[in-house]
Structure 1
């Protein structure tokens, strides 16, 4: 991949990472600053359920940040845009949609098919 494209994807990844970190810090700040206690048990249960859901989303985003960091490392190493499974180039359209992708669409579909068979 040429240097201009690598720089484009590096910036895209850094912006995505920064946005995710901002959201995570915002969520943590809200939990610390506003430990909500509602008088009605039903309202309290709903509030806690919503916060639990938000924390699960943040955990998924934490995992995404790790994938972004790995993609940034692949840019540094010169292996970005190369499928980790088959060694073929990952289509640019896929990288624009999922810049942290480490598998080409064919290998990703196969991985998902196998996960479905295993029940993951």
Structure 2
């Protein structure tokens, strides 16, 4: 999930005064107020970045039809646009997951596995802040999906 934000995430949290450089650790109380604020800001920043990128795509679409005279160039441009639009569709779905994670923060459910109720590792949440399951629960879920698909 490499995005333009990965550099921002690596630099630490910078959204609330007094928390510059804060990074959650496993050595502190799980999902304390600082951790919740950190992940909330991380999710909001990620969402804003996706929305900015999609606005750029919309502006390009509004600028008019492709005007390549060469059929090969036109086909290449259409392929590129197809890829771009599929990417935006995946990001639209990602925004829904980000909003769901933000709701879980508000309800106090964020950071806990929806299957087992156990805490999700901070490292996993850092890597995938929209995670809803522990690694173990996710692996079991994926195994079950493969088994179902193979039947």
TM-score normalised by L of structure 1: 0.94
User: Which of 72, 89, 92 is the aligned partner of 2:102?
Assistant: 72
Root-mean-square deviation (Å): 1.1
Q: Secondary structure at the match of 2:38?
A: helix
Q: How many residues align?
A: 119
Q: Does 1:44 align with 2:74?
A: yes
Q: What runs of 5+ residues in structure 1 fail to find an aligned partner?
A: none
Deviation at 1:72, TM superposition (A): 0.2
- Alpha-carbon distance between aligned partners in 1 of 2:62 and 2:138, rounded to the nearest angstrom: 39
Which runs of 4 or more aligned residues in structure 1 lie more than 4 Å from their structure 2 counterparts after TM superposition?
none
State the match for 1:29 in structure 2.
Answer: 59
Deviation at 1:86, TM superposition (A): 1.1
Post-superposition Cα deviations, 1:43-95, rounded to whole Å, max 9, x if no partner, equal 10110000000110111111111000000000000110011111111000000
Deviation at 1:115, TM superposition (A): 2.5
- Alpha-carbon distance between aligned partners in 2 of 1:115 and 1:17, rounded to the nearest angstrom: 29
- Alpha-carbon distance between aligned partners in 1 of 2:112 and 2:118, rounded to the nearest angstrom: 6
User: Which of 108, 111, 131 is the aligned partner of 1:101?
Assistant: 131
Q: Does 1:115 align with 2:142?
A: no
User: Which of 34, 40, 44 is the aligned partner of 1:14?
Assistant: 44
TM-score normalised by L of structure 2: 0.75
Query: RCO higher in 1 or 2 (8 Å CA, sep ≥ 6)?
Result: 1
Deviation at 1:111, TM superposition (A): 1.8
Deviation at 1:110, TM superposition (A): 1.6
- Alpha-carbon distance between aligned partners in 2 of 1:116 and 1:55, rounded to the nearest angstrom: 28
State the match for 2:5 in structure 1.
Answer: none
